[in-house]
């Protein structure tokens, strides 16, 4: 999690300037603000989070204390595969996150029926990811979503239109989950090689190999 600092500087002669920092790690930002307030040259200082919300130093400290007991710094991968011969799909998700200053990884997959294409399997994988984030208790948090489906990620971001009614139903359900839990998505399309963990989980699901892992890394 990163913060920006907006510092309203005042000189002894009364002149004033407004400075805004680059985005830096949240705890480091709080240390900088503490130092700025000790200068005696601060008219006001505001901390800005990744969603643009503005905090006082006291509010930001309280927020970070609360966040550290919940999942944060979440990066999630998804992938879906489809077998035309069996008309089965396999979906896999990998979620990396921090909690209480420790790092964790979730690996989860499932086999699905009544899927009609590989594209639909990718949508189903993304929806499955939303369900896993819900079970993890993610809310009011930025989530980096990574997958090798340009179609799903670009349609979710609004870059590409979606004309298929069935796919629009998936998009609606995914967006409803995000809205319900105030998830702020950052969409990052990646190559299949970069998505190897989720791809392997989807393949294992197709082969009826169930994976469910949640551990500290």
Least confident of 70-74, 76-80, 90-94, 120-124: 70-74
Please give the pLDDT value at position 53.
87
List, for residues 133-187, the tens digit of each pLDDT value.
999 999 888 999 999 999 999 999 999 999 999 999 999 999 999 999 999 999 9
Token duo for residue 207 = 């082969």
CATH class of the domain comprising 72-216: alpha beta
Which regions of the chain carry the CATH code 3.30.420.10?
72-216
**Contact criterion met (CB below 8 Å) for 162 and 168:** yes
The count of other CB atoms within 10 Å of the CB of residue 136 is 18
DSSP-H helix ranges across the chain: 26-38, 57-67, 118-136, 150-157, 165-180, 196-206
Mean pLDDT of the region 183-203: 96
What is the rounded radius of gyration, in angstroms, for the C-alpha atoms of the chain?
21
* Inter-helix orientation angle 165-180/118-136, to 10°: 10
Q: What are phi and psi of 116, to 5 degrees?
A: -105, -15
**Contact criterion met (CB below 8 Å) for 78 and 126:** yes
Please give the pLDDT value at position 104.
97
Please give the pLDDT value at position 92.
98
Q: What is the pTM assigned to this prediction?
A: 0.80
Token duo for residue 159 = 């870059």
Q: Which helix (H) or strand (E) holds 186?
A: strand 183-189
Distance of CA 116 to the CA centre of its chain: 28
Burial of 108 from C-beta contacts in 10 A (0-12 / 13-18 / 19+): buried
Residue 66 binned pLDDT confidence (cut-offs 50, 70, 90): confident
Strands 16-20 and 54-55: unpaired
Please give the pLDDT value at position 77.
98
Residue 76 binned pLDDT confidence (cut-offs 50, 70, 90): very high
* Inter-helix orientation angle 118-136/150-157, to 10°: 60
């Amino acid at each position: 999690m990163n913060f920006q600092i907006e510092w309203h500087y005042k000189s002894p002669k009364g002149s004033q300037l407004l400075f805004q920092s680059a985005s830096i790690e949240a705890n480091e930002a709080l240390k900088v603000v503490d130092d700025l307030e000790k200068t005696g040259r601060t008219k006001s200082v505001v901390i800005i989070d990744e969603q643009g919300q503005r905090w006082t130093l006291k509010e930001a400290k309280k927020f970070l204390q609360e966040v550290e007991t919940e999942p944060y710094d979440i990066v999630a991968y998804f992938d879906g595969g489809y077998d035309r011969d069996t008309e089965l799909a396999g979906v896999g998700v990998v979620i990396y996150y921090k909690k209480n200053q420790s790092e964790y990884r979730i690996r989860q997959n499932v086999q699905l029926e009544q899927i009609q294409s590989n594209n639909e399997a990718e949508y189903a994988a993304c929806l499955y990811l939303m369900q896993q984030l819900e079970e993890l208790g993610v809310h009011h948090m930025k989530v980096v979503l990574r997958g090798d489906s340009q179609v799903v990620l670009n349609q979710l971001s609004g870059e590409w239109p979606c004309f298929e009614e069935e796919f629009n139903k998936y998009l609606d359900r995914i967006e409803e989950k995000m809205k319900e839990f105030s998830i702020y998505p950052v969409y990052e399309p990646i190559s299949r090689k970069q998505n190897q963990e989720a791809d392997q989980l989807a393949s294992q699901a197709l082969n009826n190999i169930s994976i469910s892992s949640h551990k500290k890394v």
